[in-house]
Amino acid sequence: MDRRSLLIGLMAILATPMTACQGSSDNTLLLAAIAGVLSPQMLRDIQQNRLSEAIALRLKTQESGVALFQQLQVWQETTQSATMGNQPRGVDWALLSDYWLWPAIQQGVIRPLDNADALTGWESLPDIWPRLLQRNPQGLLSETGSTWGTPYRWNHLMVVYDRRFFQPLGWEPATWADLLRPELQERIILPDHPRLVLGLMLKAFNHSVNDPAPASHADVVSALETLRTQVKAYDTTTYLQSLVIGDVPLAVGWSGDIQLLLSRYRYLQAVAPEPGTLLSADVWTKPNLQATTPDVTPLSDVDQAWLSYWWQPEVVTSLSLLAQGLSPLLLADQPVDFDFELAANTVMPTPQQLQNSEFVEPLEEAAIANYNQLWQQLRGRE
């Protein structure tokens, strides 16, 4: 099959357990993802407008990244304990957040990919993608490491707020430092995650979100003392509900979650704060069902067509409209010249902001301890 041809003839979208899918034909791709990340609308759009080969897609969904990671562990254990004559096929591709690549590589539940740089469209991806996805066996970024996944979409951390609260104040949030203004005392919700909260404060003062010693910056430590008085709650699951009902006027979360609300609740506004933000990506990974050290995975024609499909200029719009995410092609520090239309109310960082934005990268154990200590200090007086 020509790599440049898009997948067509979608035969099935089934939410069935992968361990029950034995004897699947070679033209079936078994996929695992968090619910909603790969929407039925998008798959129908692929079927109606894009595909050219008869390929069946079977989708298994989980409610969270934790649940999906645990499912990868279960599939590996199930395969290892199965008899030789009753080997389940498992799942072909799992869509993991880049944050989960580190433990997935360390625990051996995914496999490196063979010749990912030969995929159609790989050469068109911004340089940040190979850098993020090349890892050593410990899961740390490495220019000489193997490629452990391919990008599907990305999101960015941003501020969403109730304009009705800010109108009488005469200003609206525009920078991360605005979270420290006295008008917001006990009025904001932040993610319940040390790397995100400490990262946005590092970014507020033009430090790297991956600085191994965040407490070495006096301006950040001082800001965290103020931030403690600003936060009403740390929440990553129901924070948007609190914003909608008026419990707080401002929250921080991922653009993929927030974009859904902007057209429904016109009193809400979102902004990608200056000077830059934190990034997150969903990447296709190859599960490892063997007990031994994972080997490099050769990619079939079907695999290659599926992975490279998401990097085509024609797919930029559907990713924005149907996947609540942004195309890997758009993560560039220069303006992208494509004939596309993003979803209404889509908030995109400017090219200058993207130059100042970073993925949350894995750190050495000593650096992780530094973040945890500072996080405990921040949360210690709740």
Domains annotated on the chain, with CATH: 13-153+280-335 (3.40.190.10), 155-278+359-379 (3.40.190.10)
In the predicted model, is pLDDT for residue 335 greater than 80? no
**Beta-bridge partner residues of 271:** 159
What average pLDDT does the segment 251-258 reach?
Answer: 95
Mean pLDDT is lowest, of 89-93, 354-358, 370-374, for 89-93
- Closest by alpha carbon to 201, among 184, 180, 174? 180
Comparing 263 with 248, the larger pLDDT belongs to 248
**pLDDT (0 to 100) of residue 313:** 87
**pLDDT (0 to 100) of residue 289:** 81
To which H or E segment does residue 77 belong?
Answer: helix 65-81
Q: Are 210 and 203 in contact (CB under 8 A)?
A: no
**CB-CB neighbours of 224 under 10 Å:** 19
Q: Are 120 and 4 in contact (CB under 8 A)?
A: yes
Per-residue pLDDT band for 269 (boundaries 50, 70, 90) equals very high
**CB-CB neighbours of 45 under 10 Å:** 18
What crossing angle do the helices spanning 218-230 and 194-204 adopt, rounded to 10°? 120
In the predicted model, is pLDDT for residue 365 greater than 60? yes
pLDDT in tens, 280-328: 999 999 999 876 667 788 898 889 988 998 998 888 888 888 888 999 9
Cα–Cα distance for residue pair 343/338, rounded to 1 Å: 15
**pLDDT (0 to 100) of residue 263:** 86
**What totals of helices (H) and strands (E) does the chain contain, helices first?**
13, 14
pLDDT in tens, 222-237: 999 999 999 999 999 9
**pLDDT (0 to 100) of residue 252:** 98
Cα–Cα distance for residue pair 357/274, rounded to 1 Å: 10
Cα–Cα distance for residue pair 184/186, rounded to 1 Å: 6
> Which whole-number Å values give the CA distances from 334 to 285, 297, 351, 362, in the listed order?
28, 33, 5, 26
Cα–Cα distance for residue pair 118/124, rounded to 1 Å: 11
pLDDT in tens, 3-29: 333 332 222 323 333 333 333 456 778
The set of residues, in sequence order, having a beta carbon less than 8 Å from that of 168 and lying 6+ positions away, is none
Cα–Cα distance for residue pair 73/111, rounded to 1 Å: 13
Cα angle for residues 207, 213, 216 (degrees, 5° grid)? 75
What average pLDDT does the segment 357-379 reach?
Answer: 96
pLDDT in tens, 48-73: 555 545 567 788 999 999 999 999 99
**pLDDT (0 to 100) of residue 54:** 59
Q: Evaluate if pTM is beyond 0.75.
A: yes
Question: Percent of the chain at pLDDT above 70?
Answer: 86
pLDDT in tens, 143-194: 999 999 999 999 999 999 999 999 999 999 999 999 999 999 999 999 999 9
**pLDDT (0 to 100) of residue 10:** 28
**pLDDT (0 to 100) of residue 296:** 83
| 267 token code pair | 């009193």
Q: Are 88 and 78 in contact (CB under 8 A)?
A: yes
Q: Are 110 and 297 in contact (CB under 8 A)?
A: no
Q: What is the DSSP letter of 206?
A: T
Average pLDDT in the chain:
86
